[in-house]
A and B are shown apart, each in its own frame.
Chain A
């Protein structure tokens, strides 16, 4: 068996199908996007080579940097929200009554399509008839904010919807990781007199740091390329107040027919995502991986 697996041809045989698929659907389009980024192209007519003009324009484009700022803000928020997800998972893993049911309830947003979630939140945030403002008015708040219409509240309103959307996903990941911790460890700690908080902080969390690191990367990269809720809920408005990199890229390429510039934005997004991933891996690297 081992002999077979060390044969280079066999390895190639196994790797080739997915390599071709990945190459055709991911890597070649990435290279093409970089190539289109060097062109002036309306998506339909002739392409003209303009060198790095698109990229130098990108560096001076204040809309791009504003949307990049929004994307990074979203990344920050999603990362911070991981703490809440982790806390919920720790509570759920404590074998409480009904924790199974709760876990299923938290998963529901994941089963809805993004557009449905967006429509739901649009209704909640409706400035006059919406659930949220009706509640606020009922509680005696005068002139509640107009959420999606107001430049100062639109981002946070969308972030909350996004955090709600992904709660189930991360809670499931953390729950699965926490389930993998041998019960004997926890029992031993309990006999030694550790409080539930100490067990969580000193035993459970250190044992799942690997998973936590992965979720941080997932959350940050996912946020940087985030598109769907924002596109449906505000379309990047009002006047660019909720524009993120991906929605800006889409607008340039398919709304304003600047495929070349849109591709350049897409490529910049890729570079930013790669840089951030590398940075996080550097920052979170630890020499000794804990083991049971």
Chain B
């Protein structure tokens, strides 16, 4: 049996080992951080923390361009290093809101426009980037990032949403590209009669279905009816918006959309289009590489993809050159960044180089003007860039225009209207409730 004293001694020894280990660890970390400080003092090293959402695995080309631009920037700016943290899209979005809550934003990061910005702007977390806006931007692209005349982020991409279709399937049933809504419904009916799925739709994500609704609203009620309803100059009870919802339900009843669309995510839905199991797919131009340059998809399939503009509705107020779309992600600079000047320089450098490289190397349509002369692009890109020049209107995605909580109601209601759970009138009423409660 151990005596009391010797027992204590042993316990003390044990504790000392534990604490000594902790202490050593602390010393170590102190030392490394000292090293970093010493270095930064001696070489005046500045570090820009940069968070982006294009991991190598899922966005290879984007990832490579970013890496290239960062390398160039570091070469041109001795004494500045850029440290990157890379997350996938959804994880990025979540991480940003979590670190935003604890005020630990990176110096430079990516954000979306519209309602997504609101909490960051009202929390005074993003820096004013007005002095970085140049004439190179396509007019209107910075609007989505502007609150009270202050630009908080510089856009990198611009997307519009055409309807992609499979030419092989259309040829097989002697179908013409529809230009009016009645033609479109006739195409759908023919495909349904032959047992072909007309449209693939990943409505688990709901913003996908929202684009169908937005287009119908535009074609029936004109370019401003939906935007007005969202910013309270109008109402969701507008007859045009009710009719748009009714048209959606009619399409669903015809069997236009793939079986089980409310449980399918967008990536799975795209898979149906790529497997040629569905004839049409409404999606933004960020998917252009899939139909042109992506070697993972069979050449035969890529050759058979075409696109058409969303058809017009007879008697409706919208025209065919009006698009649903808008800028995608943009770059922000954190307001309380320690290296704000360097971060701003990096952002404007990035935007400029991105505009030159992105369309050729990654097939991204940048938010800056692209000179199509003398560059070698797949024909579909040239066509889209030309369409973009002729665009009469660009309506920003509804869920981006709304505040986060109204967007949540909107997306749930989109699933409900597609699922036939609500009437078009109730659909409008729910939206009115959600938007009114915010006023």
Could you tell me which residues of chain A, from 250 to 271, have a CB within 8 Å of some CB in chain B? 251, 254-259
Instruction: Tell me which residues across on chain B come within 8 A of A25, comparing CB atoms.
Output: none
Could you tell me which residues of chain A, from 93 to 145, have a CB within 8 Å of some CB in chain B? 122, 125-129
**Which listed segment binds A: B47-55, B97-105, B282-290?**
B97-105
B378 contacts partner chain A, Cβ-Cβ < 8 Å:
no
**Which listed segment binds A: B212-220, B326-334, B414-422?**
B414-422
The answer to whether A127 and B97 have CB atoms under 8 Å apart is no
Minimum distance in angstroms from B272 CB to a CB of chain A: 7
The answer to whether A127 and B259 have CB atoms under 8 Å apart is yes
**Closest Cβ neighbor of B261 among chain A residues:** A149
Q: Which of A13, A125, A257 has a CB less than 8 Å from the CB of B119?
A: A257
Minimum distance in angstroms from A149 CB to a CB of chain B: 3
Could you tell me which residues of chain B, from 396 to 426, have a CB within 8 Å of some CB in chain A? 404-405, 408, 412-413, 415-416, 419, 421
A228 contacts partner chain B, Cβ-Cβ < 8 Å:
no
**Which listed segment binds B: A64-72, A161-169, A235-243, A279-287?**
A235-243
The answer to whether A151 and B419 have CB atoms under 8 Å apart is yes
A39 to B7, CA, bound (A): 51
The answer to whether A43 and B263 have CB atoms under 8 Å apart is no
The answer to whether B94 and A45 have CB atoms under 8 Å apart is no
Number of residues from B at the complex interface, CB < 8 A: 41
**Closest Cβ neighbor of A242 among chain B residues:** B263
The answer to whether B206 and A147 have CB atoms under 8 Å apart is no
Instruction: Tell me which residues across on chain B come within 8 A of A43, comparing CB atoms.
Output: 97, 100-101, 119
Minimum distance in angstroms from A259 CB to a CB of chain B: 7
Instruction: Tell me which residues across on chain A come within 8 A of B203, comparing CB atoms.
Output: 238
- With contacts A240-B412, A254-B94 taken as known, whether A148 is within 8 angstroms of B263 at the C-beta atoms is yes
A73 to B258, CA, bound (A): 30
A89 contacts partner chain B, Cβ-Cβ < 8 Å:
no
Minimum distance in angstroms from A60 CB to a CB of chain B: 14
A191 contacts partner chain B, Cβ-Cβ < 8 Å:
no
- With contacts A44-B101, A255-B408 taken as known, whether A4 is within 8 angstroms of B4 at the C-beta atoms is yes
Minimum distance in angstroms from B334 CB to a CB of chain A: 12
**Which listed segment binds A: B120-128, B176-184, B293-301?**
B120-128
Instruction: Tell me which residues across on chain B come within 8 A of A255, comparing CB atoms.
Output: 404, 408
A67 to B203, CA, bound (A): 21
B375 contacts partner chain A, Cβ-Cβ < 8 Å:
no
A1 to B204, CA, bound (A): 63
Minimum distance in angstroms from B403 CB to a CB of chain A: 8
A182 to B331, CA, bound (A): 68
A197 to B419, CA, bound (A): 49
Instruction: Tell me which residues across on chain B come within 8 A of A1, comparing CB atoms.
Output: 1-2, 7
**Closest Cβ neighbor of B7 among chain A residues:** A4
**Closest Cβ neighbor of A251 among chain B residues:** B408
Contact with B along A48-82 (1 / 0, CB 8 A): 00000000000000000000000000000000000
B264 contacts partner chain A, Cβ-Cβ < 8 Å:
yes
Minimum distance in angstroms from A40 CB to a CB of chain B: 13
A3 contacts partner chain B, Cβ-Cβ < 8 Å:
yes
A4 to B12, CA, bound (A): 14
The answer to whether A146 and B408 have CB atoms under 8 Å apart is no
Could you tell me which residues of chain A, from 1 to 16, have a CB within 8 Å of some CB in chain B? 1, 3-4, 10, 13
A187 contacts partner chain B, Cβ-Cβ < 8 Å:
no
A221 contacts partner chain B, Cβ-Cβ < 8 Å:
no
A234 contacts partner chain B, Cβ-Cβ < 8 Å:
yes
B322 contacts partner chain A, Cβ-Cβ < 8 Å:
no
The answer to whether A147 and B405 have CB atoms under 8 Å apart is no
B260 contacts partner chain A, Cβ-Cβ < 8 Å:
yes
Minimum distance in angstroms from A221 CB to a CB of chain B: 25
The answer to whether A256 and B421 have CB atoms under 8 Å apart is no
A146 to B261, CA, bound (A): 9
Minimum distance in angstroms from A153 CB to a CB of chain B: 9
A129 to B259, CA, bound (A): 10
The answer to whether B405 and A258 have CB atoms under 8 Å apart is yes
Could you give 14 example pairs across A and B, Cβ below 8 Å?
A1-B2, A4-B7, A4-B8, A42-B122, A43-B100, A44-B120, A128-B197, A146-B263, A149-B263, A238-B262, A238-B416, A239-B413, A255-B408, A259-B101
Additional pairs, 7, CB under 8 Å, beyond known A146-B259, A150-B262, A239-B419 = A43-B97, A43-B100, A43-B119, A122-B265, A127-B260, A148-B262, A239-B421
**B residues whose Cβ falls under 8 Å from a Cβ of A:** 1-2, 4, 7-8, 11, 94, 97-98, 100-101, 103, 119-120, 122-123, 125, 197, 203-204, 206, 258-265, 268, 272, 277, 404-405, 408, 412-413, 415-416, 419, 421
